[in-house]
């Protein structure tokens, strides 16, 4: 992921001002975040996920990284992570999703059906991807009259 993002940044005229890696399930991101802050990079890319990415963002907020003019770009962030972080801590976060439940009428209809069966929780890109993959598999099985 790091290599691919660096290639995209460079291809689009950007610069990579530094890289640092942390162990999985790190609790204290301060040394990594302070390095990123000191770099003065416009965008701090976070190539981590789950608790590591949310903890990075929370601790980055404590250091005032976004308030200081930098932004985080989460490379594997889910809308549920943004909700868990809350509006204040998620300020300035840039992230991509392959599916957003409120994008258009079709996604809203799917999300409504999904939420009705899942305690009001809207689908993430993982849910939508699993649904789409399963649906197309079942359509192929039906078309082939085979499993």
In the chain, which residues fall in CATH 3.40.50.2300? 2-95
Name the band, by pLDDT with cuts 50, 70 and 90, for residue 26.
very high
3 state DSSP class of 43: strand
Phi-psi group of 113: left, alpha or beta (phi > 0 → left; psi -120 to 50 → alpha; rest → beta): alpha
Q: Read off the DSSP letter of residue 123.
A: P
Quick count: other Cβ atoms within 10 Å of Cβ 85? 19
Task: State the pTM of this model.
Answer: 0.85
Among 32, 36, 10, 8, CA closest to 21: 32
Domain with residues 2-95, CATH architecture: 3-Layer(aba) Sandwich (3.40)
Share of the chain above pLDDT 70, in %: 100
Residue 147 has pLDDT above 80, yes or no: no
Mean pLDDT of 9-30: 96
Dihedral of alpha carbons 9, 14, 20, 23, sign: negative
């Amino acid at each position: 992921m790091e290599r691919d993002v660096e290639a995209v940044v460079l291809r689009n005229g950007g610069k990579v001002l530094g890289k640092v890696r942390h162990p999985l399930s790190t609790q204290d991101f301060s040394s990594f975040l302070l390095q990123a802050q000191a770099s003065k990079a416009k965008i701090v890319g976070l190539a981590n996920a789950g608790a590591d990415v949310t903890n990075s963002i929370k601790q980055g907020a404590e250091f005032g990284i976004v308030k200081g003019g930098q932004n985080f770009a989460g490379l594997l962030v889910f809308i549920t992570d943004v909700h868990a972080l809350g509006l204040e801590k998620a300020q300035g976060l840039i992230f991509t999703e392959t599916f957003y439940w409120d994008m258009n009428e079709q996604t809203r209809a799917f999300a409504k059906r999904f939420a009705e069966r899942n305690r009001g929780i809207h689908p993430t890109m993982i849910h939508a991807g699993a649904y789409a993959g399963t649906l197309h598999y079942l359509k192929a099985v039906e078309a082939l009259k085979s499993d």
